């Protein structure tokens, strides 16, 4: 009998994916739910909505509230917060590296290090050096991972994940999709998503 | 010594204002926080962002998720849910009536009845008869309240509340603003807002 699992869709440019990435494994673990780490790109989905940048930039009052709310959220978790410049960051290289890594803990560890650098220290994740250090901090040999990230297979796999996310109805990140197709959007919904998965799983 | 109070800004066309209106008095009461009921209009604020309708209509995937999420949210609260047609409803008359009522429990009672009709039964709050019944259900004499809602003073007061909301940085509903100016957006943030108000209040 398999443990229930959820797909955790995250985008490295997404602010609320930061606290979510830091706690999703623990929230799910307590409920006996496994987490599949699914990096994807919101850019192509936003572009279809006619947006050329983050809605947090398009609606300044919404953006101001988001940064303040994120400050409260991360403070309550004991996490540092520093806004990267520019915001949003181009997340393509980070997403390709994460896609190239096996989802056996290494992808999650690297992803958490990327968020820590980007939103904890305000560093640019468009800088390969920052991503190399994130890999090293996660215990992964950087050069091999970065070369692997450049392959056609990885590019295709990332495009496929983004297409799958769109097909599942995603419009923002983080989002969790359960095995029975239920979509939960936002760091605020992690607990509900995991409870849903635990309840829906066949016994 | 005064009890701490928060401003609860709500919009009758707003879906998440429905569960928030149904529980805000209880959530705040437990923490010893008073609630000022502040009906306002999001339309003029959305118009400045260039939106002519609800963002839930502009981004279909976002709208689908909202209705499903609201279904889960209201089900967990034991509240009925039915989508009004059209969505969003024109909330002007309801907001004027609420503004005309004294904030001594009657405004809150009427507002909850409006939400119950609109999102619990899917009725049109553009229909004066529906609003008249909401008044009667709240124990308020309908004709007097509806006449009062048509006065210039009430129209001015509603415009002033909307201007105040914008000045406080509101971009959506429901929103809570504490005495020290902290803004909390969404039904998900009621508890945090009330805790903030209880903590920040001078002892």
Q: Supply the pTM of this predicted model.
A: 0.94
Residues A180-190, mean pLDDT to the nearest whole number: 98
CB B114 within 8 A of CB B99: no
Q: How far is A141 from chain B (nearest CA, A)?
A: 39
Contact B185 A69 (CB under 8 A): yes
Encoding tokens for residue B7?
């401003």
Q: B169-187, pLDDT tens digit by residue?
A: 999 999 999 999 999 999 9
Peptide bond into A157 cis (omega under 30): no
A153 alpha carbon, distance to own chain's centre: 20
Encoding tokens for residue B108?
């809150």
Q: How far is B59 from chain A (nearest CA, A)?
A: 7
pLDDT band at A202 (very low <50, low <70, confident <90, very high): low
Does B1 score more than 70 pLDDT? no
Residues B24-53, mean pLDDT to the nearest whole number: 93
Query: Which of A58, A64, A170 has the CB atom closest to B169's CB atom?
Result: A64
B101 alpha carbon, distance to own chain's centre: 14
Task: Quickly list DSSP for B15-55.
Answer: STHHHHHHHHHHHHHHTT-EEEEEE--SHHHHHHTT-SS-H
Which residues of chain B are at the A interface, by a Cβ-Cβ cutoff of 8 Å?
Answer: 49, 58-59, 61-62, 64-65, 68-69, 72, 169-172, 183-185, 188-189, 192
Residue A54: the pLDDT is 85
Residue of A nearest to B168 (CA): A61
User: Chain B partners of A184 at a C-beta cutoff of 8 Å?
Assistant: 69
**Could you give the CA distance from residue B89 to residue B166 in angstroms, rounded to a whole number?**
21
Q: How far is B44 from chain A (nearest CA, A)?
A: 14
Contact A183 B65 (CB under 8 A): yes
């Amino acid at each position: 009998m398999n443990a229930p699992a959820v797909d955790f869709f995250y985008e490295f440019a997404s602010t609320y994916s930061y606290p979510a990435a830091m706690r999703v494994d623990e929230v799910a673990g307590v409920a006996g739910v496994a987490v599949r780490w699914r990096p994807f790109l919101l850019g192509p989905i936003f572009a279809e909505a006619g947006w050329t940048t983050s809605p947090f930039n398009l609606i300044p009052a919404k953006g101001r509230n988001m940064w303040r709310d994120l400050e409260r959220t991360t403070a309550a978790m004991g996490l540092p917060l520093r806004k990267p410049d520019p915001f949003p960051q181009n997340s393509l290289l980070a997403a390709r590296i994460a896609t190239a890594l096996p989802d056996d803990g290494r992808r999650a560890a690297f992803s958490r290090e990327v968020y820590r650098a980007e939103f904890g220290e305000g560093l640019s994740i468009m800088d390969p050096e920052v991503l190399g250090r994130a890999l090293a901090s996660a215990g992964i040999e950087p050069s091999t991972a970065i070369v692997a990230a450049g392959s056609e297979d990885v590019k295709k796999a990332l495009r496929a994940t983004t297409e799958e996310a769109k097909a599942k109805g995603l419009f923002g990140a983080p989002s969790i999709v359960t095995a029975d197709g239920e979509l939960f959007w936002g760091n605020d919904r992690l607990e509900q998503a995991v409870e849903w998965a635990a309840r829906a799983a066949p016994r």
